[in-house]
Amino acid sequence: MLSDLAWHTILGVGWAMYLAGLALWIILQRRSPATTVAWLLSLALLPVLGYLIYYFFGPQRLKRVRLRRLRSRAAIAAQAEAAQAREHVADAPWRTQQMARLAYMTCDNPLSTAHDVRLLVDGAQTFDAIFAAIQAARHHVHLEYYIFATDRIGTALRDLLVTKAKAGVKVRLLIDALGSVTAGRRFFRPLTDAGGELAFFHDTRIGRRFRPVINFRTHRKIVVCDGNVGFVGGLNVTDDQDERVNPAAYHDVHLRIEGGAVRWLQMVFLEDWFYTADESRGKTPVDVTAQLLPEMSPGEHYVQILHSGPNDERESIHRAQVAAINMARRRAWLTTPYFVPTQPAVMALTSAALRGVDVRVLVPERADSRIVSAAARSYYDEMIAAGVKVWEFRGRMLHSKTLLVDDDCSFVGTANFDNRSFRLNYEVCALAYGPKLAQDLADAFLADLRHAQRVPEKRKAPLWRRFGDAFARLFSPVL
């Protein structure tokens, strides 16, 4: 029989080999140093549980996912090239062209135009506008959502889509399998029976594959009607975002776009649809026809659609927002429900404030994630010390995701100001250039401040709260 010393030696060697193997595995992922160290510590302290968490939730490279993404992009490459040839924006201001070039080089979507860009505040305005656009559709309706609930608004939207499908309109609905876990095929059977098409992004059922894709979700919210009217923003399909049903509904904004820029929202949807069809094997990809990308005259508003995801290391939305803040001359006003910034984002915000830019950050007083709220508070002191004005929205949960820089750049989309949105989720946002949307965003931001309280320069917090905030910050790279 082996002695206790021998057993200790075997266990010690096994433990060392386990750590060495994990270190090699994680380091080869080539993530940021902070993220790598955070995962290594988690796995070392939680040997079995930590391994399972990393296996299912960790930031894997997912080469097969990227290959399918490349095939999906290649499937619409000809249409994208033809659509790009229709863009006529040579007369755009120099600052617009400079930012637009950065965005194009990081997500391949060019600067476009729109006839109308309309900011929608909260669920009543947003859902009414979306329902009206769907009712007016004659050829197709494409929708992509993270959360599609089976409640009042979800059922009403499903029933409207059923009506349109029965009328001969082609309806395609893509929902995230994890975010919309309660909305199964049974709920959508009336839609599929009527001829509509349904797809689930990254199915989470273990039975479908040995390791389901759990950590990389489509957080996108896209609606495209007949290729010329589109919607993008923060609202999911749920009563939790409709103040007519729920007085405590999330406070959020959305954007309605009409004109040429919608074709690039269409492209984002089509790439996701092709990707999901490829993943599902057997689903027939959509035939991209001229009716999906109709000819449209140039509009008066410059708009660019940005998208990012774990399949693309260029981090288009992250890079564009940091660059816009760095270019700010007068103001940079940020609204986000989850404020867990990267180091480049922290540097951009504090540097802008230090050079005299009016930098304001509006976050919820209490987010729907305690650890995220705690991590956000850990950044307050360094922000305020640099001159950043931090405000906490009171009452309803603040869910808006916007950034206003001067009168030049207005971001409205799905991406939170955190690591998960910048690097792990599939996100999309509209970047509008010029004063029209800038003024609307500024008015909405100032209206929100009336329901917020500014965080004082010398805020008082008990030791346990400060420790909890600092501890939560340790998990920032993986939140």
Same domain for 222 and 125: yes
Q: From its phi and psi, is residue 315 left (phi > 0), alpha (psi between -120 and 50) or beta?
A: left
Per-residue pLDDT, averaged over 457-461, amounts to 77
Q: Is residue 294 part of a domain?
A: yes
User: Are 124 and 243 in contact, with CB atoms under 8 Å apart?
Assistant: yes
| Res. 61 pLDDT band, cuts 50 70 90 | very low
User: Are 113 and 301 in contact, with CB atoms under 8 Å apart?
Assistant: yes
| Res. 210 pLDDT band, cuts 50 70 90 | very low
Report the C-alpha gap between 456 and 266 in whole angstroms: 44
pLDDT in tens, 388-417: 999 999 989 999 999 999 999 999 999 999
pLDDT of residue 472: 67
CATH of the domain at 68: 3.30.870.10
pLDDT of residue 366: 82
Whether 38 has a pLDDT exceeding 80, the answer reads no
Whether 282 has a pLDDT exceeding 50, the answer reads no
Residue type, 176: D
Same domain for 322 and 454: yes
Closest CA to 272 of 411, 157, 148, 173: 173
Report the C-alpha gap between 175 and 154 in whole angstroms: 12
Same domain for 233 and 334: no
In the block, tokens 């660019």 appear at: 304
Question: What is the Cβ-side half-sphere exposure of residue 182, based on CA atoms within 13 angstroms?
Answer: 9
Per-residue pLDDT, averaged over 343-367, amounts to 95
Q: Which residues are catalytic?
A: 219, 221, 226, 399, 401, 406
Closest CA to 47 of 10, 16, 8: 16
Q: Where in the sequence is the domain holding 38, given as residue range(s)?
A: 4-57
Same domain for 74 and 18: no
Whether 100 has a pLDDT exceeding 90, the answer reads yes
Q: Is residue 103 part of a domain?
A: no
Per-residue pLDDT, averaged over 107-126, amounts to 96
Same domain for 339 and 242: no
pLDDT of residue 360: 98
Per-residue pLDDT, averaged over 334-344, amounts to 95
pLDDT of residue 371: 78
For the chain, what percent of residues have pLDDT higher than 90?
A: 60
Distances (CA, A) of 44 to 17, 21, 26, 468, 471: 12, 11, 12, 22, 18
Same domain for 292 and 340: no
Same domain for 382 and 404: yes
Q: Is residue 101 part of a domain?
A: no
Handedness of CA 219, 225, 228, 231 (dihedral sign): negative
The mean pLDDT value of the chain amounts to 85
